[in-house]
Each structure stands twice: as C-alpha cells, then as structure tokens.
Structure 1
Amino acid sequence: MQWLFNLPTAIWRRLLLILQGLWALIWLIAAGIGALLGKGGTIGSRLGAAIGGPEGQRKVFAVLRLFQPNLVIKRKVIASYPNNGVTAIATRHTDVTDILTRDADFGVVYGPRMEMITGGENFFLGMQDTPRYTRDTSNMRLVVRRDDVPTIVTPYVSTAAAEIVAMVPGKIDVPQALTQPVAAGLLDRYFGTPGPSQAAIAEWTTLLFWYLFIDLQADPDLDARAQAAAASFRDWMDGHIAARRKGRKTDDVLGRCLAMGSAEMPGMSDRDIRNNLIGLLIGELPTLSATANLALDELLDRPHQFAAACAAARSGDDATLAAYVFEALRFRPLNPVVYRRAMRDTSIAAGTLRRRKIVKDSIVMASNLSAMFDPLAVPDAPSFRTDRPWETYMLWGYGMHACFGAHINRAVLPAMLKPLLAQPNLRRAEGERGQIDKAGTPFPQHFHLEFDT
C-alpha cells in the first residue's frame, strides 16, 4: 500500500514539471520576441545573450524536461572528439544519472586529447573501467588522501585567503588577487608542484582544461596553444621530478608518489607520476578559481542570500556558509552538461514513453544542471534553499568519472571565500568592473569587488 501514500507526491511533482515547463516556454518566447525587436548586433547574438546565460539555460532545460526529455538531433555538436554526427541531450535526473553510471554503454571521450597533453599516454580521466584505470586511481588515492583535507588543505587555504584579504585596501580583483593565487599555492603546498611561476602554472592548467573539456569545435588556434603549453608543462614536470628525487624528502603528493616509485609499485614510474599529476593539476586550479567566482557572482545577484552568507562568514558558521556556496553553484555550475560517446547501440530510458534509441558513436550530453532542477527528483527545485542533502548536487560529474578531487573542492571553496565574505559592506565595483570578465576565455579572469576598511 506504500504506493498509495506516495501517489499525491508523485502527482504533485508531475504537475510541477508541467507548470515549470510551460512557464519556461512563455519566458523563452518573450526572450525571442525581445531579441527580434531589440537593437544592437544581430538577432542571433541578441537571442544568445538572452538565453545563453544560466537562467536561460535553466529555462531551455525545463522545456525539454517536459516536451522532449531525451532529445536526439542529427547534428554534430562536438567536433573535438570522434563521433557519428548524432547528438542526444538527456535532461531528467533519472536518465542523467543512469547515463553517467553505465560506463560500458556511454564511455568517456577525452583519451585522444589527454594523450596529446602527456605526449602519448592516457590519464585515468580518459579511461574506461579497465585494470589500468583501477591501478592508477588506486595509486593516486593513496597519495591524495581524504584525511589530508582537514589537516593540510583547509588550514592552508583558510590562512592564505585571510592573509590576501587582509592586505588589500578595500578593493580586490577576485580571480587575479585571491582565487587563482590560493589555488596555485595549494599546488605548491599540498601537491608539491608549484610550476616555474604562479602565472605559468595558471596559464598551463587553464588552457589545457579549456582544450580538454570546453573546446567543442576543435579551434585550431587553441589546439596550437594547447600543444605548446603541454610541451612546456611536460618539460617542467620532468625536470621538477628529477630535482625532487635528488633533494630532501617532503610529505606532499609528489613526495608520496616518489616514495611509491622507489618501492617499484606498478604504475608509479617517473613518467606515470608526471602524467597523473598533470591530469590532476589541470582539474584543480581552473575548477577552484572559476567555481569560487561563479558562486560569488550568483550570491551577489541574490541580496538576501548574500547577506546571510556574509553573516555566516563573519560568525564562523562554516556549515551554513558552505550550504550557501554550493546552493549558489547549483544555479551556476561550471559545466552544465557532461558528455559521453555511445560505445554500442543502446537506449536511454528503456521501458518508458521517453525511451530513445542511441546509435553507436553518438555523443550523449547528460545535463547535470537540468538534473539538479528536475522537480521529479529535487523538492522545490526552483527555490534557493540551504537545507538540501549533499546528494542533490552534481557539480563535478557523477559516477565512476566524477571529479577525483571533489572532496577537496567541497572543503576549499567555502574556506577560500570566507575571509572575503566576512568583510563589511562587500559589494560589486561600479559598472562593468563589478561584473565577471572572462577576457576571451571560458573562465572568470577579472571580477572587481569593494568593501569598507
């Protein structure tokens, strides 16, 4: 009889799905009319500006969840990785999580570009569920330890961020002065890989993250820049590993890797260490800096929630502060979709009316952004709430290939932002300076805030 008690909830959630989809459709129609009648630029550019942002994306996904939850189009959306020119877009929570856990059906695509970066070897992010994947991830979990987060990672980030904020005179360019330096410092203090300079390691990791995950159209100019950055990264890392072998022993990630290599553990040669660390560093610095700025920007757009987050920072209520940061990122994730390639002919949502056949080598885009707003799975999804269980958030992927450093991100982001949010009368700088400037990249490069001193 349990189904009888669950029936009202199921009906209510279906009703919400319909209402949200219809409201989003009206919003999109209005945006289209506004773009048609607007001035400046082309109709396409005006429409892109209207619906290309986070709110517009959420509206598009709400319409798809209602009318076409698993959309299949005969269009090559991704040119940077091999595929057959067919693209599927999954929007409902159930289907998104299903796709991201069926690794034999929907495989990761990053291998070819990962091999370019390392000079011929794949990194476990680009591997299927193979013995080598298990070996490499197991090795790296022995050196990137969960218990390091409260004892090493969070104390460093908290101290570094507080020192930076204490030195600025009431004005700060957040990416350049705070988030990138703290993330780069973590590469030095914890990973043992500072790079030849903070600017160099930030440039390499940011460019290569862009190349791996965001360059969907295979831009030849970006390809050339990425190849140059990868070669420089490899050369520096090879030299740094050699120097560390000759130097004093240090208990950081690289030091632990070298100790395992000296013990002749399989998969821990100096070349293996170099490749695994390059892969991890590419995912660390750009992700931490970008998501911190996106969360901050989203909070600033919500005065009530922003004030509450600032109050939590000032009172030292870390749990509440973290809840505000991650709920903000639910509205503004760094990547709104995770893409895979069909390894064989298969289907999505088998046994349902929304079932779709997926042909081998099709690209499947599973929208984690849409999944986090699916009213069938997330209660009161459109509202900003800080009482959601952690499992609600799909900010760094899902399943076997979820972000390796997700536990680091979860601790670092609130700690990095806390000293800044604690400042009195924190606010945007006037004009365009107070808005995120990506400076021709996919990531926040400038974001000017002010506060009273």
Structure 2
Amino acid sequence: MSYLERYDSIPAENVSDRVNVINQGVWTDWTQLFKELRESRPIFITPKFVLVSLFPDVQEVLSRSEYFSVRGYTGKMDPVFGPCMLSRDNSEHNWREKSIIRSVLPLEDLSMVRKMAGEIAKSSLDKSAATGKIEVVHDLAKFVPIRLCGDYFGFPGPNLETMYRWSKTTQDDMFRNLTNDPTIHEASVQSGNEMRAYLSELLKEKRAKETETPTNFFTYLAQFFQPKTANNDQKIAPGDVFTRLANTKFPGDIPFSEERIIAHMIIFLVSSIEGTAQVITQIIEQLLKRPEIFQKALAAAKANDDETFDKYVWEALRFNPFSPFVVRFCEADYTLAAGTPRETTIPAKSVVLASIGSAMFDSAVVTHPDEFSINRPNYNYMHFSYGSHTCVGEHIAGVVVPEVVKQTLLRPGLRFLPGDEGKVEYQGYIPARFVVAYDK
C-alpha cells in the first residue's frame, strides 16, 4: 500500500495517525513519498504541514520570501547568533551582512581553499591507510571542514572535540529539532555562549597581532580591482577570514560591530561542518553504488580534470541530497501554481516543506531524472537551496566538497566493506557512520 493510500484509509478526524504516515515517509523514505506526491498530489496540505514537490512550485515558494519566510528559525538562531541574515527576510541584516560576508569570501580564494581541502583530506587518508579503511563521517568528512574552519576561516577552536560538539548541538537545534525539544535547544544555546566567549578572546588576539592601521573597508574591496600581476593572479586579501574582518575598519554608517563579527564566525562553523560532512558522505556512497560511473569519475580525477570530475560529484548528490526539503512559514494566504490544474491556496500560518530533493526529480524540468547524467544544466540543481536564502558560501563548498571526494576516490581500491559493515548508518536522515576500505 502506498503512502497516500495509507493516508487516505485513515479517518480524517484521526489527525495523529495521518500525520505519522507522512512523517514516516519524510524521514525514512522521502524518495518514494515525494514520487507519489509529484504524480498525484504535488501540493499536499496535511493537518500539520504542506508538502511542495514540483520544481517550479518549490522555486516559487523559495523566491517569495514576503509570503514564505524563515521566521521559524528565529527563536533557535537568535540566542546563538543574535539577529542575523539566516533568520531574516528582506531586512537590513539580510542585505548588509550578506554583502559584507561575500566581500571577505572572494572568488579569488577558491584555488587556495581547494588546495587546502585536498591537503587536509590527504593527511587524514594517509593516517588511516595503515588500517586499510577510514570512517568517513567523523575522520574525513567532518575533519576537513573543521580544519578549514581554523585554517581558512580563522576559527580553530580550543580542540577538535569541542568543535565537533559546538557544530552538532547548534545544527541539531536549528535545523533538526522540529519538535522543539527544550533539551536540544538548551545545548545549542550553551554552545553559542561558549563560542562567543572563546571568539571574544580570539578577536583580541587577531587585532593585537595586526601592527598596521586597520584596513579601511573600501580600501579592502579596492584590492580586488587591481590589475592582474605578471603570473595572471589577482592579489589575495591577507590572512584568514577572521583576521580580515577583525582588522577592517567599517565606516560609521555601516554598523558591523565586534558582536556581528563574532556572530558570523559562529555562522561559519554552524553552516560549514555538519552539512559538508553529510554531502561528502552521501556522494561517496552514491558513486560507489555505481561501478561504471565510479570508474568514469575516477578517470577524471586521475586526469586532474576538475571541471568534469565535479559534475559527477553534484549529479551523485542529486540522488541523496543534503536535505529532502527546506522549511518555510506561510505569512499570508497564498495561491501556489496559480493558473495551473494544481493551483492550491496555502493558508496563512502553514508550515511549508519545499522539497528541493523532489524538485530535482521533476521530469517536466529535469530530463530523464532517474538516470545519472553529468550533462545537466546547473539550474537543474538546488543543492544550495534557491532564492534569497541560497547559501552565501556555496562557492567555498563548491570546491571543498568535490576535492575531498576526489582525494578519497584516488585511493587505490576504494570500496564498500562487505555486508552491513559497509552501509551508511543514519540518525534520521543524517549520516552517523560510514566505513570504506582502500588498499594500503
């Protein structure tokens, strides 16, 4: 019996059982559930939330922030970050802070960041080589972004285990605590307090080491418009990202205080560890599941053809993306897909689950979606969401993720372990453990 058949067989007044059927699909079998929805009920209103499954409808939801807001994140994010762009729509925080953060994460850094990620991944793979296997989630997929958090962002943390804890507790509350468990929330707030205390001291150190006058913000930006040097490289801003922010003097009419600098350093940690680890793990699994595709991706990796290799990475992720959906809050009654046969009015105050995972399998937009193809246009992918809340660091993740996968594939004899030992262990839809083998 399908999910929708089971749902329909339950009396309408039995709300709890109806919702449990859909929750089971959302959390344990989202591909099958959303396949049913795309075919039969693409905009599905349940007693607790609304599921949106088709490509154009998901994009419509994510591009109408005045109707579908991120206010649901505010109560969980503000105690950790303070008011920030991640939990605000069409506000001064969103406009100003995105602009500043983009300026200190320039595209000119990408080759350096990719090289750093590759070297860290190699070190971890080398360390495990003697055993002939590595636990991907913790020892590789989380380890690399945590090291980059220190080496590139400038937020090393007191030790690795504390960084792991800070990352997990905040992510668990902000993006996974749909039942609003107070214990999970308290752990996130505590981590936020600890991070602010740590970063406040680190900020003093960053500034104490700076011997020159703090860089004027506009002078800082101007360096990226200087003529290219003889080796065809543009000048790269000095220091890690924290140092750049700590030693930039913002004009008085651009309010970006020490508090906001610290808030964004926390955002870098929260947004770069767990999600990066998840997608690296899932990409490696998807490639290993497809031996012929794996060999083609490996050939591109051996040829150092990153342009081709990266296409294999992002197509593999489509089959098990970062999240099946993103959550939005409907601010006012809104008619979605107006003028089409599926036109549906979503009531105000609805919680909306816009399924970016389902959208990437919408055959009306994505050609032969069940096939693995590296020839898809970029707009077929929504790995970094869509609209005004597209990930600000997508270009950083866009080189880190494929480089870690590349270095892993380059290990001779990379393979699944036999039986259950070689399967990804999940907590909900988040990978918790995945051991792969490779030759010593």
Give a deviation string over 1:347-404, Cα, whole Å, max 9, x none.
Answer: 2111222111122211111110111000111111111111111111111210000111
Paired residue for 2:295? 307
SS in 2 for 1:147: helix
Paired residue for 2:326? 338
SS in 2 for 1:89: strand
Would you say 1:111 and 2:71 are equivalent positions?
A: no
Tell me, in whole angstroms, the C-alpha distance in 1 between the residues paired with 2:124 and 2:26.
34
Q: How does 1:277-426 map to 2 (within 5 A)?
A: 277-426=265-414
Paired residue for 2:113? 153
Tell me, in whole angstroms, the C-alpha distance in 2 between the residues paired with 1:424 and 1:60.
38
Amino acid at match of 1:211: D
Instruction: Describe the shift of the 1:48–1:98 C-alpha distance in structure 2 as closer, same or farther (beyond 3 A).
Output: closer
SS in 1 for 2:50: strand
Instruction: Describe the shift of the 1:134–1:373 C-alpha distance in structure 2 as closer, same or farther (beyond 3 A).
Output: same
How far 1:61 moved relative to its partner? 1.1
Paired residue for 1:448? 435
Amino acid at match of 2:76: R
5+ residue gaps in structure 1? 1-25, 33-43, 76-86
Q: Aligned-pair RMSD on alpha carbons?
A: 2.6
How far 1:142 moved relative to its partner? 1.2
Tell me, in whole angstroms, the C-alpha distance in 1 between the residues paired with 2:282 and 2:333.
38
How far 1:187 moved relative to its partner? 0.7
Instruction: Describe the shift of the 1:50–1:97 C-alpha distance in structure 2 as closer, same or farther (beyond 3 A).
Output: closer
Aligned match of 1:164 in 124, 128, 133? 124
Paired residue for 1:215? 177
Q: Give the length in aligned residue pairs.
A: 400
Give a deviation string over 1:202-242, Cα, whole Å, max 9, x none.
Answer: 22112211211111111232122222222212211112112
How far 1:259 moved relative to its partner? 2.2
What TM-score comes out, normalization by structure 2 length? 0.85
Deviates more, 1:201-210 or 1:361-370: 201-210
Would you say 1:233 and 2:195 are equivalent positions?
A: yes
Q: Is the 8 A contact 1:428 1:434 kept in 2?
A: yes
Tell me, in whole angstroms, the C-alpha distance in 2 between the residues paired with 1:253 and 1:267.
18
Q: Is the 8 A contact 1:123 1:279 kept in 2?
A: no
Give a deviation string over 1:235-268, Cα, whole Å, max 9, x none.
Answer: 1111211222212476211111112246656232
Q: Is the 8 A contact 2:196 2:262 kept in 1?
A: yes
Tell me, in whole angstroms, the C-alpha distance in 2 between the residues paired with 1:262 and 1:404.
21
Tell me, in whole angstroms, the C-alpha distance in 2 between the residues paired with 1:52 and 1:275.
32
Tell me, in whole angstroms, the C-alpha distance in 2 between the residues paired with 1:431 and 1:276.
43
Q: Is the 8 A contact 1:70 1:88 kept in 2?
A: yes
SS in 2 for 1:172: strand
5+ residue gaps in structure 2? 7-17, 212-237
Instruction: Describe the shift of the 1:383–1:397 C-alpha distance in structure 2 as closer, same or farther (beyond 3 A).
Output: same
Paired residue for 1:36? none
Deviates more, 1:389-398 or 1:172-181: 172-181
Would you say 1:189 and 2:151 are equivalent positions?
A: yes
Q: Is the 8 A contact 1:397 1:403 kept in 2?
A: yes
Q: Is the 8 A contact 2:326 2:354 kept in 1?
A: yes
Instruction: Describe the shift of the 1:59–1:261 C-alpha distance in structure 2 as closer, same or farther (beyond 3 A).
Output: same
SS in 2 for 1:341: strand
Q: Is the 8 A contact 2:27 2:429 kept in 1?
A: no
Paired residue for 2:233? none
Instruction: Describe the shift of the 1:386–1:261 C-alpha distance in structure 2 as closer, same or farther (beyond 3 A).
Output: same
Instruction: Describe the shift of the 1:447–1:265 C-alpha distance in structure 2 as closer, same or farther (beyond 3 A).
Output: farther
What TM-score comes out, normalization by structure 1 length? 0.82
